[in-house]
Amino acid sequence: METKIDEIADGIYRLSTYVPDIAPPAGFTFNQFLVLGDEPLMFHTGLRKMFALNRDALARIIEPERLRWIGFGHFEADECGAMNEWLAVAPQATAAHGQTGVYVSLNDFADRAPRVLKDGEVIDIGGGKRVRFIDTPHTPHGWDAGVMYEESTGTLLCGDLFTQLGNDRALTDGDVVGPAIAAEDLFKYAALNPGMGTTIRELAKLAPRTLALMHGPSFSGDGAAALRALAEDYDRRVSAQMAEAMQRLAA
């Protein structure tokens, strides 16, 4: 395996590792994102067993010890499995997440005290970059789920939203909704709940210009339209699930 580096927006780098053995023959990518600034932020730490790959890749951009912030979508191995390895090589770095994630998981897991981020709180990392944390509980999964939005570039760090198979180009202006629907059909990874569509449509109001996907290519274009289309698909799935449940109750 190798970790490839691509700049997907001004000062935002995608570190991508392709694993062909997951969901073959298409395979699957694991992506981390580095946001440059006076206090660089990394969104996702990657799997613990991929730490050396990701560290060596990041070192081609900045010295790893310069990291100051570590964020992620929710507490899961590919989101934050290597957190403590990064905290060890970056002694000034702080893990930052929402209140639920910190209280339930990070206070125990992180080797240094994490920072609790309120919904909508902004970290000004300098160099014109401002990163906002947004709570998205159970969307697409995880009680502690959240995303981050870099305001100057209009980049939404999506976490598992729009998850898809394959090893497409690093940045696309093509369809990211259809492949995400296909991946949901295959993996059924979302925690379907009545609030999903509303949560995703709230993200669409940001009108992001770039969608940084954890699994799949990043997207450049009308991010709001893509998010609304994804919300409609989850609305459809939730409605179908509820209708099926009602039928079972009536039987």
Q: With contact defined as beta carbons under 8 Å apart, do 67 and 103 qualify?
A: no
β-strands 94-98, 115-117: how paired? parallel
Band of the pLDDT at 163, cuts 50, 70, 90?
Answer: very high
β-strands 210-213, 171-172: how paired? unpaired
Band of the pLDDT at 245, cuts 50, 70, 90?
Answer: confident
Q: At what angle do helices 196-204 and 223-250 cross, to 10 degrees?
A: 170
User: CA end-to-end span of the chain, whole Å?
Assistant: 52
Residue 67 has pLDDT above 90, yes or no: yes
pLDDT at position 206, please? 98
State what percent of residues in the chain have pLDDT above 70: 100
Residue 227 has pLDDT above 90, yes or no: yes
User: Tokens for 17?
Assistant: 């590792």
d(CA 23, CA 27) in angstroms, rounded, equals 5
Alpha carbon distances (Å) from 173 to 52, 176, 220: 31, 8, 5
d(CA 62, CA 41) in angstroms, rounded, equals 11
Angle in degrees, CA 197, 200, 201, rounded to 5 = 85
CB burial readout 13-52, b (16+ within 10 A) else e: bbbbbbeeeebeebebbbbbbbbbbebbbbbbbbbeebbe
Band of the pLDDT at 244, cuts 50, 70, 90?
Answer: confident
d(CA 33, CA 171) in angstroms, rounded, equals 13
Alpha carbon distances (Å) from 94 to 12, 51, 115, 180: 19, 17, 7, 32
Q: What is the pLDDT of residues 112-152, one digit of tens each?
A: 999 999 999 999 999 999 999 999 999 999 999 999 999 99
Q: Exposure of 120 by Cβ count < 10 A (0-12 exposed, 13-18 middle, 19+ buried)?
A: exposed
Residue 1 has pLDDT above 90, yes or no: no
Mean pLDDT for the stretch of residues 74-100: 98
Q: With contact defined as beta carbons under 8 Å apart, do 92 and 68 qualify?
A: yes
d(CA 47, CA 130) in angstroms, rounded, equals 26
d(CA 25, CA 63) in angstroms, rounded, equals 35
Residue 248 has pLDDT above 90, yes or no: no
pLDDT at position 168, please? 84
